Amino acid sequence: MIPRTKIMLLILFSLLFSIPVLAQEAQSFEVNGLKVIFKQNTSNDIVSANMYFKGGVTNLTEKQAGLESLTLDVSSKATKNYPKDKLNEALERMNSKLNSNSNDDYSNLSILCVKQNFDESWKIFADVILNPVFSEEDLNLERDKMISAVKQVNDNPDALLQKEVNHEFYVDHPYSIEVNGTQETLSSFTPGDLKAYHSGMLETSRMLLVVVGNTTLEDLKSMVNDAFGSITKGSYVTKMPPEVEMSEPSLKVVYRELPTNYIQGTFSAPERGTEEGNTMLIASSILRDRLFEEVRTKRSLSYAPAAFYRANFSNYGAIYVTAVKPDTTIKVMINELQKMKDEPISDKELKDKIRQFLTGYYLGNETNQSQANLLAFYELSGPGYEQAAKFIQNVSKVTPEEIQKAAQKYMKNLQFVLIGNPKSLEISSFMY
Amino acid sequence: MPKIFKIFLLIMLLSLCGASVYAQKYGIYKKTLDNGLDVIVIHNPAVPLITVEIDVKNGSFTESPEYDGLSHLYEHMFFKANSKIPNQEAYMERLRELGATWNGTTSEERVNYFLTAPVDSLEQCVQFMYDAVTSPLFLEDELVKERPVVTGEYDRNEANPYFHLNHEVSKRVWWKYYSRKNVIGDREVILSTTPEKMRTIQHRYYIPNNSALILAGDITPETGFDLAEKIFSKWKRGPNPFDEYKVPDNPPIPKNEVVVVKKPVNAVTMQCVWQGPSVGKDPKSTYAADVLSFILGQETSKFQKDLVESGLAYGVNFSYYTLNHTGPITLFAQTSIDKFDACQKAVFAELKKMTDPDYFTDEQLENAKTILATDEQYGRERASQYAHTVGFWWAVAGLDYYLNYIDNLKKITREDIKNYLEKYVVDKPHVLGVLVSPDQAEKVDLILNIKEGEIKDDSKN
């Protein structure tokens, strides 16, 4: 007779290897120093190509906040071979989606298209990367939109909370530089600044290309070679941002007239993709389930209690809630944190949780774009893209004892931020 | 042909006819059970997951004022005790055992519940959904506990300034029967509701002949239909709720109105709403509406060039939301206080030009159809989300509308778009809302010629 846990693992592994799309493993090759990760998917007619630029805010000074994000944004408006109208007409005719995005750790310029339009879409994608024109007119338009978006962060309590949390948690840290800039920094950039910054980005050692979709390895190699075979290789080395350690708890209150209070308590957390990171991922997810049950189901204290574990290179975990009674609610939440430290979780709770992770893992692999982002995250954050496919095997190794130890090590010295106008506030309730 | 093969073929044909199975486009298959339940299977084996979804033709459109917000509260109560599961804690534990992620949503004309799990949980998930939809207990203590949770959701909405803009505009557009468009509902109604009201909703709307079961992912139509038959055929049919509880027609907006909403915000936002077509009464206009919206969304369009590329607005959008009981047509624009006057004038000038023969090119017309078709293709990549899309169309317009959608879009001409605009937008009454910070509101009032506290009758726009 096979023990139940082994049967469970057998089922999990048989599911992992039973389907065509995931059986097509990602592979990599290099062209002129540019690492390319390719995963073929012939189950649909869609192709997602993504150029990632390494470094994120570690590339920027305080005065350059927002420069990489704005550079990529303006670069996709017009190029040497595709003036604005020609570029837009071509994208609209094919409905190919050209997007750029920047986070603290890296930026991404992507094209999503149907298979029959991949050749033409790729030409536009490559020209946007290699030959943007950075006109003053485009810069001014995109700058105004970005400044407005930056100011509007203050209009949304959730966005404002995340901004305040980052300020409190990442003091004297690269992440204290705003990835999307400030009104002051964005206002200062000239087309010359964007051109100079862009030329620095164009080193193959600073770039990573990830393509997932219905194309072939041979075609892709030829396309990459033609487009990027002759640009500078450079010697870019990613500077990993330091981890943050908190020595004491804190609470910051930002007064706003709101019908409820938005609260987040943040704690240091290990890197994702590592053994400790996998442990924290499960600990955080179990904590979220328990907060839902204790805060929402049993006590009706909130619609939205949560716990989460970010996916930054320098990381934090957090508890989050919106509540009209902050003191009572936070006491219940901290009691649950303490339980994670005092009692190991049961084997059943762990087994069920791993099964839910299996679902989450496959949901993250439903689209070519999401697969590309997952592969890039594992590659850029350190473990390597091959680890993405080993996620379920890796989290399946985590034990209840490890979860308890991770809770004891990390879930302490919470940095709370509260946005709202509470009738009363017992500060000691937040000091954990 | 060997005899055994002929027999096999005959059995196959008979089984197909007997089951009334319709092989459809996009990997979608539909069968209606004897009790009236529509079963829709979406075959997409890209990942070994299954999404089990129930869609019900319920939502704010069924709500008279004393039920305002109760479709949404009912959605919350769905995740609680039923005849097989004693309470919400046990309910959540069972979902974890199944490895399921889950949720539910309520909108104007559809409520849906869905869970996604590894495909080996398929039968248990379908059974779980059956128990939840057919035998909720509505325990008094669980209902009492859930009311503040729903008002907590209400609080979060009220913390968002755009909620207030939408609320002020919507209650004027749907002035006569606002509860039938107000999904989040009325706080007092939510806080005073009873288990009896929940049971009334259940018996009236949660019946198989008003619902669809969608099974999407790594599943064949045969497996899906067999399982649905095995588990859901016991669900008892009820009288068509819309025979007895008719949904009233929305009367037109009596006159143009302007409302200024003052909240601490860092941009000026305009939201202008007209009453648009009902898909059941005027489907052709709904196709024309979608094609026009996607023409105006193109960066090469006059609409985007005149308003966004000119620097007058940060962004503009003109869209139609498909509903069976009058969908709204919404023009949205965001700008700064300094450019507000020029922007609002340019927006209304643009509306007047939309019926001009050269307002958009033939290429833009064809591009809009391509964009709509490929967006559908991109959407089908994600089976778990695609189930929600198909469920929405099933509830609001019927599955056939959705399956023929792209073909019908292709038939839309310039004349159809002109007719749509003339029928619903040009010189038709609308409500304009402007969201602005209190310290800049005076300037907006002056520009719009509004006296303090007044809601402007602005018939000339």
ipTM associated with this complex: 0.89
Calculate mean pLDDT across residues B386-405.
96
- Which residues of chain B does A18 touch, with a Cβ-Cβ cutoff of 8 Å? 48
Say whether B160 and A298 touch across the interface (CB within 8 A): no
Q: By CA distance, what is B88's nearest residue in A? A: A297
Name the strands in the sheet holding B456-457, side by side, starting at the edge strand that comes first in the sequence.
Answer: B315-320, B328-335, B268-275, B430-436, B257-262, B456-457
List chain A pLDDT tens, one digit each, 432 residues. Answer: 433 333 333 334 333 333 334 446 899 999 999 999 999 999 889 999 999 999 999 999 999 999 999 999 999 999 999 999 999 999 999 999 999 999 999 999 999 999 999 999 999 999 999 999 999 999 999 999 999 999 999 999 999 999 999 999 999 999 999 999 999 999 999 999 999 999 999 999 999 999 999 999 999 999 999 999 999 999 999 999 999 999 999 999 999 999 999 999 999 999 888 899 999 999 999 999 999 999 999 999 999 999 999 999 999 999 999 999 999 999 999 999 999 999 999 999 999 999 999 999 999 889 999 999 999 999 999 999 999 999 889 999 999 999 999 999 999 999 999 999 998 899 999 999
B314 to chain A: which residues are within 8 Å by CB? 144-145, 148-149
Taking residue B408's Cβ as centre, other Cβ atoms within 10 Å add up to 16
On chain B, the residues whose CB falls within 8 A of the CB of A320 are: none
Pairwise CB contact (< 8 Å): B384 & A365: no
Q: Is A367 on the interface with B (CB under 8 A)?
A: yes
Which of A44, A88, A259 lies closest to B159 in CB terms? Answer: A259
Residue B445's pLDDT is 87
CB contact under 8 A, B48 and A18: yes
Structural domain range at position A194: 23-228
B152, B380, B382 ranked by CB distance to A322: nearest: B152
pLDDT (0 to 100) of residue A292: 95
The pLDDT value recorded for residue A325 is 95
> Is A141 close to B101, i.e. CB distance below 8 A?
no
Q: How confident is the model at residue B24 (pLDDT cuts 50, 70, 90)?
A: low
Closest to A367 (Cβ–Cβ): which among B308, B374, B382?
B382
Find the CB nearest A366 among B47, B145, B334.
B47
Using the Cβ of B120 and the Cβ atoms of chain A, whether some distance falls under 8 Å is answered with: yes
Indicate if A121 and A61 belong to the same structural domain.
yes
Q: Is the pLDDT of residue B5 over 70?
A: no
Asked if residue A28 is part of any domain, the answer here is yes
Nearest CA in chain A to B151: A303
**CB A285, CB A356: distance < 8 Å:** yes
Domain containing A192 — which CATH number? 3.30.830.10
Closest by alpha carbon to B380, among A363, A23, A366? A366
Between positions 292 and 311 of B, the ones with CB within 8 A of A are 298-300, 308-309, 311
pLDDT surpassing 50 at residue B11: no
| Per-residue pLDDT tens over the stretch A371-398 | 999 999 999 999 999 999 998 899 999 9
- Please answer yes or no on whether B46 and A356 come within 8 Å at the CB atom: no
Neighbours of A121 (CB within 10 A): 23
Instruction: Please name the residue of chain B whose CA is at the shortest distance from the CA of residue A144.
Output: B314
Give the model confidence (pLDDT) of A215-228 as tens digits: 999 999 999 999 99
CB B81 within 8 A of CB B139: yes
Tally of structural domains, chain A? 2
3-state SS class at B389 = helix
Cβ of A44 and B45 within 8 Å?
no
- B448: closest CA of chain A, how far (Å): 23
Q: B residues 36-65 near A, CB within 8 Å?
A: 45-49
How far, in Å, CA of B29 to CA of B459, rounded?
49
End residue of a domain, out of A196, A228, A260: A228
Q: Which of B44, B47, B338 to mutate to test binding with chain A, by most A CBs within 10 Å of its CB?
A: B47
Same domain membership, residue A217 and residue A273:
no
User: Mean pLDDT of all residues in chain B?
Assistant: 92
Residues of A in contact with B116 (CB under 8 A): 359, 363
Phi, psi of A73, deg, nearest 5: -60, -50
Put the strands of the sheet holding B22-23 in their side by side order. B22-23, B28-32, B38-43, B211-217, B49-56, B111-118, B101-106
**pTM assigned to the model:** 0.91
Across the interface, do B118 and A15 touch by the CB < 8 Å criterion? yes
User: Does B315 lie at the interface with A, CB-CB under 8 angstroms?
Assistant: yes
d(CA B54, CA B70): 18
Nearest CA among A10, A44, A14 for reference residue B45: A44
Q: Are A90 and A123 in contact (CB under 8 A)?
A: no
Of B118, B267, B314, the CB nearest to A358: B118
What CA–CA distance (Å, rounded) separates B396 from B310?
38
Residues A192 and A320 grouped into a single domain: no
Q: Tell me if A259 is assigned to some domain.
A: yes
Residue A234 inside a domain? The answer is: no
> Looking at the domain assignment, is residue A83 inside a domain?
yes
- Region B401-430: what's the mean pLDDT? 96
Tell me: do A223 and A256 sit in the same domain.
no
Tell me, yes or no, whether A136 lies in a domain.
yes
Is B378 within 8 Å of A43 when comparing Cβ atoms? no
Tell me what pLDDT residue B451 has.
Answer: 57
Tell me the domains of chain B and their CATH numbers.
Answer: 20-244 (3.30.830.10), 257-457 (3.30.830.10)
pLDDT digits (tens, 9 = 90+) for A299-349: 999 999 999 999 999 999 999 999 999 999 999 999 999 999 999 999 999
Asked if B146's CB is within 8 angstroms of A359's CB, the reply is no
Which of A127-136, B14-23, B141-150, B365-374 is the least confident region? Answer: B14-23
Whether A169 and A29 map to the same domain: the answer is yes
Sole residue written with tokens 């948690």 = A169
- pLDDT of B18 higher than 50: no
The answer to whether residue B207 scores a pLDDT higher than 90 is yes
Residue B166, both tokens: 């939408």
Do A409 and A323 share a structural domain? Answer: yes
pLDDT at B449: 79
Q: Across B235-345, where does the E strand assignment appear?
A: 257-262, 268-275, 315-320, 328-335
The three-state secondary structure class of A35 is strand
Give B-chain residues touching A92 at CB under 8 angstroms: 298-300, 364, 367, 371
Residues A255 and A220 in one domain: no
Mean of the pLDDT values across residues B320-331? Answer: 98
Q: B27 CB contacts (<8 Å, ≥6 apart)?
A: B42, B43, B44, B380
**Scanning every residue of chain B, which has its alpha carbon at the shortest distance from the alpha carbon of A48?**
B378
Taking CA–CA distances from A213, the nearest residue in chain B reads: B381
**Nearest-Cα residue of chain A relative to residue B298:** A92
Burial of B234 (0-12, 13-18, 19+ CB in 10 A): exposed
Please indicate, yes or no, whether residues A54 and A89 belong to a single structural domain of this protein: yes
Q: Are residues A97 and A176 in the same domain?
A: yes
The answer to whether B51 and B116 have CB atoms below 8 angstroms apart is yes
Residue A9, domain member (yes or no): no
CA–CA gap between residue A168 and residue A264 (Å, rounded): 11
Instruction: Please indicate if any CB of chain B lies within 8 Å of the CB of A13.
Output: no
**A355 interaction partners in chain B (CB closer than 8 Å):** 96-99, 118
H or E element, residue A100: strand A97-102
A413 min Cα distance to partner chain B (Å): 28
Say whether B47 and A293 touch across the interface (CB within 8 A): no
- Provide the phi-psi class of B453: left if phi over 0, else alpha when psi is between -120 and 50, else beta: left
Q: How far is CA B78 from CA B99, B112, B135, B263, in A?
A: 19, 10, 10, 35
A312 and A172 in one domain?
no
Q: Is the pLDDT of residue B9 over 70?
A: no
> What would the mean pLDDT of B30-40 be, rounded to a whole number?
97
Residue A109 placed within a domain: yes
Q: Is residue A41 part of a domain?
A: yes
Q: What residues of A are in contact with residue B190 (Cβ under 8 Å)?
A: none
Whether residues A296 and A362 share a domain: the answer is: yes
Which of A363, A374, A418 should be substituted to probe chain B, the one whose Cβ sees the most B Cβ atoms within 10 Å?
Answer: A363
**From A419, which residue of chain B is nearest by alpha-carbon distance?**
B159
Question: Does residue A193 sit in the same domain as residue A274?
Answer: no
Chain B residues closer than 8 Å to A360 by CB: 101
